[in-house]
Amino acid sequence: MLSLYFRDQGYAVKEVGVGGRDGGVDLVIIDKRGEKTAVQAKCYAEHNKVQVMTVRELVAAKRNHDCILSLLITTSDLTADARREAEQFKVDYWHGGLIENKLRAWGKWQPGKGNKKPKKATPTGSTVKTITCACGAPMVARKNKEGKAFWGCSTYPVCRKTKAM
Ligand SMILES: [Zn+2]
């Protein structure tokens, strides 16, 4: 999912950590200027915080992938030690709330709904019309004494406007 996300943000993405030992890096993302960022993603439950070791692995591994920058992404958060380490070694990090906001803004992801089918579009060609009265209220179908249908203001008797069907 992060591969798709970064591609949509205009990065070229290499999935280096797929299928087996990732050596501390999951993705290498390359921006339009050719600058490479090593990305490590940890999908952890909220109580399971990213440890300082993960930050160290990423710092060590980014060189193997020819990256200057590094980014740690987690659904959880970093321990205080891990944050300090990240700040010291200029590892950018996105944690829980931040990554959720970014993915929401992206619009291709919905929280807690894995592979939800896209919503069905509203049917087109529907014959249901909404008629609005001059007063701004919707008009509703009514019948007069002779049984002839007409549009009458829904606020009747406040507004007594009518319209022929
Ligand atoms: Zn009206």
| Alpha-helical runs (H) found in the chain | 2-8, 52-64, 80-88, 96-106
pLDDT of residue 110: 73
DSSP one-letter code for 50: B
Query: How far, CA to CA in Å, does 14 sit from each of 22, 56, 70, 107?
Result: 12, 21, 14, 22
Centre of ligand 1 from the C-alpha of residue 150, in Å:
13
Tokens (6 digits) for 19: 């299928």
pLDDT of residue 7: 95
Tokens (6 digits) for 99: 């990554």
pTM: predicted TM-score of the whole model, two decimal places? 0.64
Centre of ligand 1 from the C-alpha of residue 136, in Å:
6
Centre of ligand 1 from the C-alpha of residue 154, in Å:
7
Centre of ligand 1 from the C-alpha of residue 128, in Å:
19
pLDDT of residue 129: 65
Centre of ligand 1 from the C-alpha of residue 124, in Å:
28
Centre of ligand 1 from the C-alpha of residue 153, in Å:
4
What's the angle, vertex CA 118, arms to CA 114 and CA 121, rounded to 5?
160
Phi-psi region of 26 (alpha: psi -120 to 50; beta: other; left: phi over 0): alpha
Please give the chain's pLDDT, 165 residues, in tens. Answer: 899 999 999 999 999 876 556 578 999 999 999 999 999 999 888 889 999 999 999 999 998 889 999 999 999 999 999 999 999 999 999 998 888 889 889 988 876 655 444 554 555 544 556 789 999 888 999 998 888 999 999 998 899 999 998
Centre of ligand 1 from the C-alpha of residue 151, in Å:
10
